[in-house]
Amino acid sequence: MKNIRIITSILCLTILWTCSNDEYQDYDAPDELSDILWLIGTNKNSQDQYSINAATHLSFLDLSQGAVSHEWIIEEGNNFLKEGFNSTDSLTAFIIPNAGLSTTKPKAHILFNNSGLNKVRLLNKFDKPVKYVSSQGILEAVQEGNLWVIDTTFTFDVYAQIKPAFKVYQDGVEILNITEADMPSVSDSDSWPTIEVEAGTALRFEDLTTVGRPNGRSWRFPEGTPNQIGGVTANVSFFQLGTFTGEMRSFRVSPLPTSTVTKLIPLKVKVIPSSQPFVFSGQIKESENEKILFQLNGEVVPFSGEEANFTVNVFNEQSGFNQVIPVQTASVSTDNATFIELTLSQPIYNSDTITVTYDASTNGITSTDTRVLQSFGPERVQMYFGNNILPGNSWASFEPSGGGINNAFASNQFFIPGGQGNGQFDDLIWERVTTKSFDGVASMRYKLPAGEKLPLINLFGFGLADGPGGVPAGTYRVSYRVYKENSNLQKFRMEFGNPTTDIKIFDISAIPNNQWVEVSETITFNEDLTADNYRTALRIVDEDNPGITGPQLLYFDDLALIKLEPRL
């Protein structure tokens, strides 16, 4: 028996979805010819015609010439269909009663009901030898008595109807368990349990669906935040007072056979006023359009006239500017009602240091659950910075590989003088590795064994001016991502220019081990960095780390230079 899974070169495919009586014309082959050919209908819901949804039909047509007999054989649970149905018909009405599991007609319309692997067998018999030559090889008839038999099996992966299953948790405690067999209905909503949640808190949802093999899902609560979210697990917060319901949507998307099923979440979420004070949540930042946004632990009722209660102090070290800039407008964000937006009466720059203070003496800002915003500040604003001027996925993130020990295996964009001994402790001190990275696949590892003093080894870089025109003179925010796995180092330094014109020392004494942390400094280049002076050096030296010895294990990734806006 020849088992065929996907052999598109053997199959002549045609679209056979609407099956009217005259769709297939009977074909009488000349008696003296014997040949093998068959047609199988395509599956409009899948990129792979051998992967289909349950309750889907496919049409088969055996066009083999000179065959003594044809036989299509199906498995128990699947059905043969009558002709004459269309895409809007219920296929069960067209099942041929008492048809059994085989038909000797050249044409067969098969309804697939069984999930999992399903086989359709085509058995052709000829009175002379036949063969079929394809890219998969030669399919030859096997002699059985006086006849020659071609026995071919087509295997289809049938995906069951999706049956969503999920759980809901509050504060880590399971409060709802919906199995694949449960079918919640709006008509039963009066019997649904009610769960009280304080405004600003969240419920956690967990997808447990396996039947139907979905590859995606979404959780939908119109009054939740977010109001729609994906993920096997998802947290939805509630800020608005009231009682709300939601739904879970489970789906298969391409390249699998597409299907979507929605199941109600049979739970009434009753949002009550929070018992917590209404406060600044710890996130305040500048947006690209120079607005200052900060988040609160609840949704804000629209307000006006609160501008004078905000104090925004702006300090710029380079220019000496140090003033309170009046707030021109203060309002609730139209994108997210848990944010307040401040528009200042003067321009601000990303080289500024800005703090925001709020005085709640007028009780003028309240939450949708009737709490009054408390005073806060001064809180430092996270400034908006533009893009890294260094090319992504390149030398600054240690992505290219190559070279040897004296290149730290990080391509010829890096160099360590041979006499400094990068390999003096068996393992390399500086080495490009792929075992850990912040972004991309690689980072630069610094490693020292226990008991060793910090050696003088310079990791010189030569890619800084790769872009057209190099790096223009100006003030920049220079940063690295650092991961301390096992290290008590206090500082490292970056040096720029050849000869060195600028040095920046980065304090890493307070950053925690075992997580990536961004460290940054401000640097001013008084002249362009070009091919004549573009060298950098990454260095760890004794004078910055007095008394420090090994072992040391840390990683560097994603050197960035971001242009700062000077305040003149």
- 126-135, 361-370, 463-472, 493-502: the lowest-pLDDT one: 463-472
What pLDDT is stored for residue 37 in this prediction?
Answer: 63
SS3 content of the chain, % helix, strand, coil (to 5): 5, 45, 50
Q: Which residues form the domain of 176?
A: 166-272
At 35-50, the pLDDT tens digits run 556 666 666 666 777 8
What pLDDT is stored for residue 27 in this prediction?
Answer: 35
Assess whether 262 and 285 both reside in one domain.
no
CA distances 391 to 471, 502, 562, Å, are 12, 22, 12
Q: Where are the alpha helices (DSSP H) in 33-109?
A: none
Assess whether 71 and 138 both reside in one domain.
yes
CA angle 119, 36, 23 (to 5 degrees): 75
Asked if residue 133 lies in contact with residue 233, where contact means CB atoms within 8 angstroms, the answer is: no
Domain of residue 401, CATH code: 2.60.120.260
Assess whether 173 and 261 both reside in one domain.
yes
Asked if residue 196 lies in contact with residue 244, where contact means CB atoms within 8 angstroms, the answer is: no
The model's confidence at residue 28, banded by pLDDT at 50, 70 and 90, is: very low
Assess whether 119 and 205 both reside in one domain.
no
What pLDDT is stored for residue 43 in this prediction?
Answer: 62
The number of CA neighbours under 13 Å toward the Cβ of 248 is 33
C-alpha dihedral, 228 to 232 to 233 to 239, nearest 10°:
10
Instruction: Decide if 388 is inside a domain.
Output: no
Computed on alpha carbons and rounded to an integer, the radius of gyration of the chain in Å comes to 35
At 530-565, the pLDDT tens digits run 777 778 899 999 999 998 887 899 999 999 999 999
Instruction: Decide if 366 is inside a domain.
Output: yes
> Based on the number of CB atoms within 10 Å of its own CB, is 407 exposed (0-12), middle (13-18) or buried (19 or more)?
buried
Give the contacts of 526 (CB within 8 A, at least 6 positions apart).
473, 501
The model's confidence at residue 60, banded by pLDDT at 50, 70 and 90, is: very high
Instruction: Decide if 390 is inside a domain.
Output: no
Assess whether 252 and 177 both reside in one domain.
yes
Mean pLDDT of 274-291: 93
What pLDDT is stored for residue 19 in this prediction?
Answer: 38
Tell which wins on pLDDT, 21 or 92. Answer: 92
Mean pLDDT of 219-223: 95
Domain boundary among 99, 124, 159: 159
Assess whether 415 and 542 both reside in one domain.
yes
Assess whether 335 and 371 both reside in one domain.
yes
Instruction: Decide if 385 is inside a domain.
Output: no
- 115-129, 254-268, 490-504: the lowest-pLDDT one: 490-504
Domain boundary among 131, 159, 187: 159
Instruction: Decide if 465 is inside a domain.
Output: yes
Domain boundary among 159, 177, 195: 159
Share of the chain above pLDDT 70, in %: 90
Domain of residue 80, CATH code: 2.60.40.10
Assess whether 133 and 174 both reside in one domain.
no
Assess whether 346 and 429 both reside in one domain.
no
What is the Cα–Cα distance from 375 to 311, expressed in whole angstroms? Answer: 11
Element (H or E) spanning 294, and its range? strand 292-296
Q: Residue 454 pLDDT > 50, yes or no?
A: yes
Structure tokens at 98: 């008492």
Instruction: Decide if 338 is inside a domain.
Output: yes
What pLDDT is stored for residue 174 in this prediction?
Answer: 98
Q: Residue 9 pLDDT > 70, yes or no?
A: no
Number of structural domains (the chain) is 4
Assess whether 538 and 403 both reside in one domain.
yes
- 131-135, 205-209, 432-436: the lowest-pLDDT one: 131-135
Instruction: Decide if 178 is inside a domain.
Output: yes
Instruction: Decide if 295 is inside a domain.
Output: yes
Domain of residue 296, CATH code: 2.60.40.1220
What pLDDT is stored for residue 529 in this prediction?
Answer: 77
Share of the chain above pLDDT 90, in %: 64
Mean pLDDT of 220-239: 93
The model's confidence at residue 463, banded by pLDDT at 50, 70 and 90, is: confident
Assess whether 62 and 140 both reside in one domain.
yes
Assess whether 436 and 548 both reside in one domain.
yes
Q: Which pTM was predicted?
A: 0.63
Structure tokens at 218: 């979404």
